[in-house]
Amino acid sequence: MGAQQHGGGPDEDEYADALFALEDIDTGHGSPAPADAGPMFRDSPAARRLLSVRAIHAEPAAAASARGRQILARFPEAEVVPVASHWGIPDLHGNEGNVDRWVRVKSETLVLGEKKTLTTRPNGRSADWIAPGPANGCAMACAYCYVPRRKGYANPITVFTNIESIIVHLSRHVARLGPKTEANQCDPTAWVYDIGENSDCSVDALISDNVADLIRSFARMPTAKASFATKFVNPDLLLLDPRGRTRVRFSVMPQADSKLLDIRTSPVEHRIAAAGDFLEAGYEVHFNLSPVVLRPDWERDWSLLLRHMDDALPRAVKEQAAAEVIMLTHNKDLHELNLGWHPRAEEALWRPDLQQPKRSQNGSLNVRYRGAVKAEAVQTMRTLVATHAPWLRIRYAF
């Protein structure tokens, strides 16, 4: 059901069968915040520490677009480096020397490009569909993350500036589907679109209005919802008006795991504490219990986390919450790369005594827990949730 579009922004006649008018799209001249909202978090010192951009590799058309100009204006002191394509930048992608400055690359480098091929893929787990996202890459540096493999491991954020084309593509896809007539584990009534498969939308929203534009667009779609997982609390998202049409999935894990593996993310307790605010702001709030890393005392620490969630979360969050339980999948190449910048993480992630090879759908050689080990751990997690957070419905576990 995918479509393909090339070049810059679409012509007006491309919007003829969209679910909203051309003037509803923010092309970079406005702000997602109400006039009286006060200072934006994305302009704060904390946000600047996460993203202290010094170099922007930009496709010429992306830099010249309205969204591109908005981003360049946010980082006026950054050096702009013209590139032919956001893929395969020689000094950035596949450069083994970047291992020594792994976190600096993610913090100081940004890429601007246009998403040339727009495809919506079926999923059936986190969402019914995987949407063409507004970005890929991340400024955070979780040691287990699969996303860095997409562009040669050094994978800072690439922002796609042709957001209008992405939204039109999604609007048409939703319109073609019509109402959802059969409930499934993704959602009983709405088609769910994951808009952040290869990035963290909460961090992306520090850079541009792409995520805000998507949230506003889905707010107008009565048969669909946006969805994204996040490890970062961005209070600017509370200023939007999602109208229940965006599902935020806060990823959580025991603090001992997060301190070791979730590099540059918001503390887990902050993610849990933010759930009530996001629900009140009009989001649906779910949780990802992921990744589940098998190491000594993992059952005890997950029990403590679930008890904390039970104590800390408001009743309103519990009444609508659901969760995904995802066991760790790792990758041999990523293991070897991590040994160059964060070897302690691999003591927990790389467990040949418990893991077996797995060829992924994209051809990568991954490792996952052996069948019997994984099955037992999944059942343990189900039991822990039922015991300590019985209100938390598990949508799926694998």
The separation between the first and the last C-alpha atoms of the chain, rounded to the nearest angstrom, is 27
b/e burial code for range 306-331 (CB count within 10 A of at least 16 → b): bebbeeebeeebbeebbbbbbbbbbb
Convert the pLDDT of each residue in 296-311 to its tens digit. Answer: 999 999 999 999 999 9
Amino acid sitting at position 265: T
What is the model's pTM? 0.91
Closest to 393 (Cα-Cα) out of 185, 125, 248: 185
List the pLDDT tens digit at each of the 398 positions of the chain: 333 333 333 443 444 444 444 344 444 334 455 655 678 999 999 999 999 999 999 999 999 999 999 999 999 999 999 999 999 898 888 777 788 888 899 999 999 999 999 999 999 999 999 999 999 999 999 999 988 777 777 789 999 999 999 999 999 999 999 999 999 999 999 999 999 999 999 999 999 999 999 999 999 999 999 999 999 999 999 999 999 999 999 999 999 999 999 999 999 999 999 999 999 999 999 999 999 999 999 999 999 999 999 999 999 999 999 999 999 999 988 898 899 999 999 999 999 999 999 877 656 789 999 999 999 999 999 999 999 999 999 999 99
Q: Looking at residue 148, what is its pLDDT? A: 76
Residues with Cβ within 8 Å of residue 42, at least 6 apart in sequence: 205, 206, 207, 234, 236
Contact by Cβ (8 Å): 304, 254: yes
Q: Which amino acid is at 388?
A: H
pLDDT digits (tens, 9 = 90+) for 58-98: 999 999 999 999 999 999 999 999 999 999 898 888 777 78
pLDDT tens digit string along 167-198? 999 999 999 999 999 999 999 999 999 999 99
> Which are the contacts of 33, defined by CB distance < 8 A and separation ≥ 6?
40, 236, 239
Helix (H), strand (E) at residue 290: strand 284-292
Extract the tokens encoding 134: 């507004």
d(CA 20, CA 171): 8
- Nearby residues of 85 by Cβ (< 8 Å), 6 or more positions away: 59, 113
Q: Show the tokens assigned to 235.
A: 């209070």
Helix (H) or strand (E) holding 325: strand 322-327
CA dist., res. 232 & res. 262, Å (int):
10
